[in-house]
Amino acid sequence: MQTEAIGYTFGRQALPMLWDYIEMNPIEHTGGWADTINSIFTNIDHLSQIPSLPLITSERQGFGATHASATRLPYPDAFFDAILTDPPYYDNVPYSYLSDFFYVWLKRAVGHLYPDLFSTPLTPKAGEIVAYSNGEGGFEAGKRFFEEQLALSFREMQRVLKPGGVAVIVYAHKSTAGWETVINALLDSGLVVNAAWPLNTEMESRLRANESAALASSIYIVARKAERQGVGLYPQVRAELRQHMERRLQRLWEEGIGGADFFIAAIGSGIEVFGRYEQVIDMEGNVIRADALLDEVRTLATDFAVRQILHNGFAAEISDRARFYVLWRWNFGEARVPFDEARKLAQSCGLDLSEEWARHGGMVKKEQEFIRLLGPHQRDLDDLAAGRDLIDVLHHALRLWEKSERSALIQRLTESGYGASEAFYRVAQAISECLPLESKEKKLLDGLLTGRSRLQEEVRQARLL
Ligand SMILES: C[S@@+](CC[C@H](N)C(=O)[O-])C[C@H]1O[C@@H](n2cnc3c(N)ncnc32)[C@H](O)[C@@H]1O
């Protein structure tokens, strides 16, 4: 049902600046003042009836709710059987800044009851483990701070865990930098990773943001305080990684994990191997860190995904550009993507993104710090007519099909050789399957594919002439 109502201040985890204002009458309408007050009363009434848990009341035994930084836990060594933590996800949410919105009111309302929690005029910011890139030193300094502080908190967890104790760490991030930091922090923590598995944790409504490729899942990393395997030699660890990931990726695929979530879950599988070692070194003794692991994982996951998306058999026949195109649509749909993420995806397909973007008639476009993959309508028709790659020919064919230029379409498919190639139609089918129903590109692809047998027959006839 559609209602006229006042939107929430926190529609997402930010306080956006809005230039429009409420035009409805807040006193009389549904969702107005009276409704809001009533729902607050209902919630307070409900919450006040929940009995206190013994856990929260027995602070003298060392349990209860305590307020401290994760980097300095007020507990002795080997104290806990298990620790579950949900740390900040790199730069996703500026918690302390958003908290100020509530803090200033809570301080006035209940500050006198909890003077130690409300001692400062605003929330403390310095010890917050978030990668802010707007401070001195910019992105690099924010990344370093996050990694160091996260490593400190993981080491604290390791310290307060009993031998054999379990640590569960929840994490999710779309960017490679976000994962590099958490993997390096884990490698430095002394914890041994046993398993990493995605769980579907996000609300559907949040995922509908169409300009970004949102994740549906978070990765649950399960680790133990145990002896590690010592130093691993990279060639061996790599072989182990390949074997382990082939099995894991198959399972993830069968579980229906797709798009951006598949790559993130693949990183989890990579950590399962990498995280067993004290340290991984190459033959010359150089220490291998998360960036190399992530490159390897991305290449393995890319290969696997292309094979699956094209239903095996055709992956080897298609160009790097076509692989890149298919994977992008599968991974990000029609969303634009930060440059570095796009570059890494291109790299895993053997493609140089800067070259593609600088190239006349290329299929990517730079929009400030983002990259957009151009669909058939966003590319120049003359460039498409001159292009020789599968994606160029496909885009050209789609434009000709759209304009019902049948003979030009048959000629293009015949002369390029793609009209008789099974891989060509498989790629078209795969792209269509990656796109949402309302996508214009999907509609064109489906249109072309519906008349596929007739097209192939006409191409066959044309070749005989
Ligand atoms: C992903 S959120 C956890 C959300 C929580 N699971 C929930 O459902 O409400 C990460 C939390 O870590 C907190 N945090 C950031 N720096 C911290 C630090 N140094 N010590 C302890 N907590 C910290 C943030 O304030 C934020 O509340």
Can you give the three-state secondary structure of 214-275, one letter per residue?
Answer: CCCEEEEEEEECCCCCCEEEHHHHHHHHHHHHHHHHHHHHHCCCCHHHHHHHHHHHHHHHHC
* Ligand 1 atom having least distance to the Cα of 95: 25
**Helix count and strand count (H, E) for the chain:** 18, 9
Exposed e or buried b per residue across 267-301, where buried means at least 16 C-beta atoms within 10 angstroms of its C-beta: bbbbbbbbbbbeebeeeeeeebbbebbbebbbebb
What local confidence, expressed as pLDDT, does residue 56 receive? 45
What local confidence, expressed as pLDDT, does residue 54 receive? 60
State the distance from the centre of ligand 1 to the C-alpha of 155, rounded, in angstroms. Answer: 17
Cα–Cα dist 360/378, whole Å: 14
> How big is the chain by its Cα radius of gyration, in Å?
27
What local confidence, expressed as pLDDT, does residue 263 receive? 82
pTM strictly above 0.85? no
What local confidence, expressed as pLDDT, does residue 313 receive? 63
State the distance from the centre of ligand 1 to the C-alpha of 211, rounded, in angstroms. Answer: 27
Helix (H) or strand (E) holding 47: helix 33-48
Residue nearest (by alpha carbon) to ligand 1 atom 2:
88
- Residue found under tokens 């049948």: 406
- What would the pLDDT profile of 250-309 be if each residue is shown by its tens digit? 998 888 877 777 888 888 888 889 888 888 999 999 999 888 888 888 888 888 888 888
Ligand 1 neighbours (beta carbon < 6 A): 69-71, 86-88, 95, 127-129
**Domain ranges for the chain:** 77-93+130-309, 315-464
Decide: 86 and 103 in contact? Cβ < 8 Å. Answer: no
What local confidence, expressed as pLDDT, does residue 30 receive? 64
> Which residues, 6+ apart, have CB-to-CB distance to 311 below 8 Å?
426
What local confidence, expressed as pLDDT, does residue 341 receive? 84
What local confidence, expressed as pLDDT, does residue 176 receive? 77
- What would the pLDDT profile of 394-443 be if each residue is shown by its tens digit? 999 999 999 999 999 999 999 999 988 888 998 898 898 888 888 999 99
What local confidence, expressed as pLDDT, does residue 374 receive? 95
What local confidence, expressed as pLDDT, does residue 382 receive? 92
What local confidence, expressed as pLDDT, does residue 249 receive? 92
Residue nearest (by alpha carbon) to ligand 1 atom 6:
86
DSSP character string of 339-402: HHHHHHHHHHTT--HHHHHHSTT-SEEEETTEEEE--GGGS-HHHHHH--SHHHHHHHHHHHHH
State the distance from the centre of ligand 1 to the C-alpha of 88, rounded, in angstroms. Answer: 6
What local confidence, expressed as pLDDT, does residue 29 receive? 60
Query: Which regions of the chain are under pLDDT 50?
Result: 56-59, 206-210
What local confidence, expressed as pLDDT, does residue 111 receive? 95
21: left (phi over 0), alpha (psi -120 to 50) or beta: beta
State the distance from the centre of ligand 1 to the C-alpha of 69, rounded, in angstroms. Answer: 10
What local confidence, expressed as pLDDT, does residue 27 receive? 65
Residue range 77-93+130-309 forms a domain whose CATH class is: alpha beta
What local confidence, expressed as pLDDT, does residue 175 receive? 79
